[in-house]
Amino acid sequence: MSAPIRIAVTGAGGQIGYALIFRIASGGLFGPDQPVSLRLLEITPALPSLNGTLMELDDCAFPLLKDVVATDQTTTAFDGADWVILVGGLPRKEGMSRADLIRANGPIFTGQGKAINEAAGPDVRVLTVANPCNTNALIARSHAPKVPAERWFAMTRLDQNRAAAQLAIKAGVGVGEVTQLTIWGNHSDTQYPDYKNALIGGKPATSVINDPTWLSDTFVPTVAKRGSAVIKARGASSAASAANAALDSVRSASFPTKSGDWFSAGVVSDGSYGIPAGLIYSFPLTSTDGKSWSIVQNLPIDDDARARLDASAKELQDERDAVKDLLGPAA
């Protein structure tokens, strides 16, 4: 058996954390032959309850789980980590936008970025889930100059999964038939779920669902506002689907992409598609080796899509301006 992959999860005692760590420990992330090692970070008052979760992890007797440490110390949590999943932070409540969390959650990512820089493993990769996730990732990265730009991800996979499900339901097909689906931009209401370049059963989604009004006026806002709809229905923000999307995100970055498909995540823009370099913006990505990735180039972008891509970039620039005081030397 290979050496364990070490995964650090922050906010491990929260709703998403509880849905995430048992799946990682059971082999649901890296498969049935790959041992894992967990580092769980929580704020001090949450440690007693996290201890209960440690008891439950023991009681699952997961053969792949080599060791677990629960701590309130960031450098202990990130020490030697291969992956860091940044979940810890406040979720929004009904009536709030994700950007309303920026001043509450943003400061968490200065210290955590520094601790990743100091303590994480040499090949660490970091997925930010806590909202507003693109800008929190930007803050953390700005404090971690040792960690190269291509190792940072912000989670828009939940949006991709939501978009795939909505298209599949409308077309009356299984969700596996939906491919080449991009979420462009911010994990916010300005995101653009790109149905114009998506395929259903290998055919353009726009020909399978021959209903331009539904695609533009129902599908796009349904996906973009799904987080609010879940909060309204559940009384709490999505947790199991978010944990599932975190697993999908890490897996997509860790294994070669299936031929003819791609996946979405917020990554550091290199200027592709005219998006300002340095912003953490969601693009279509492929990986040939499960280590590096590249942005899918030359997708057709019409005037309507262009306006949507630019609006989301503008929102991210505004968010970056709102946290200027929190940015570190690698900004």
SS3 label, residue 137: helix
Site string for ligand LMR, 143-182 (x = CB under 6 A): ---------------x------------------------
Residue of the chain from 14, 88, 89, 227 that contacts ligand LMR (CB under 6 A): 227
Written as one string, the DSSP assignment of 78-93 is: HTT-SEEEE--SPPP-
Question: Could you give the 3-state DSSP secondary structure of residue 59?
Answer: helix
By a kind-dependent CB cut-off of 5 to 8 A, residue 15 interacts, out of ligand LMR, ligand NAD, none, with: ligand NAD
- The residue length of the chain stands at 331
Kindly state the smallest distance separating residue 230's Cβ from ligand LMR, in Å.
Answer: 5
Closest CB to ligand NAD among residues 89, 278: 89
Separation between Cα atoms, residue 180 and residue 44, nearest integer Å:
43
Q: Could you say which of 92, 125, 143, 187 is catalytic?
A: 187
Query: If contact means CB under 5 to 8 A according to the sort of partner, which of ligand LMR, ligand NAD, none does residue 230 touch?
Result: ligand LMR
Q: Using the minimum distance from each CB to ligand NAD, give the nearer residue, 132 or 284.
A: 132
238 binds ligand LMR (CB under 6 A): yes
Binding to ligand NAD by residue 238, rule CB under 6 A?
yes
Q: Which residues of 182-199 are buried (b: 16+ CB within 10 A; e: fewer)?
A: bbbbbbbbbbbbbbbbbb
Give me the residue whose beta carbon is nearest to ligand NAD: 14
Q: Which of 237, 244, 254, 269 binds ligand NAD (CB under 6 A)?
A: 237
Residues in contact with ligand NAD, counted by CB under 6 A, come to a total of 30
Is 187 considered catalytic here? yes
CA 236, CA 295: separation in Å to the nearest integer?
Answer: 34
- Taking CA atoms, 196 is separated from 16, 92, 150, 193, 223, in Å, by 32, 31, 27, 9, 15
Q: Give residues with Cβ within 8 angstroms of 262, minimum separation 6.
A: 180, 182, 284, 285, 286, 296
Cβ–Cβ contacts within 10 Å for residue 258, how many? 11
Decide: 141 and 268 in contact? Cβ < 8 Å. Answer: yes
Question: Which segment (41-49, 70-78, 91-99, 200-208) binds ligand LMR by CB under 6 A?
Answer: 91-99
Q: Which position among 40, 99, 108, 198 is part of the footprint of ligand NAD (CB under 6 A)?
A: 108
**Side-by-side strand order, sheet with 5-10:** 65-71, 36-41, 5-10, 83-86, 125-128, 152-154, 263-268, 280-286, 294-295
Q: Which residues bind ligand NAD (CB under 6 A)?
A: 10-11, 13-17, 41-43, 46, 87-92, 105, 108, 129-131, 133, 155, 158, 187, 237-239, 242
Q: Which residues bind ligand LMR (CB under 6 A)?
A: 91-92, 98, 131, 158, 227, 230, 237-238
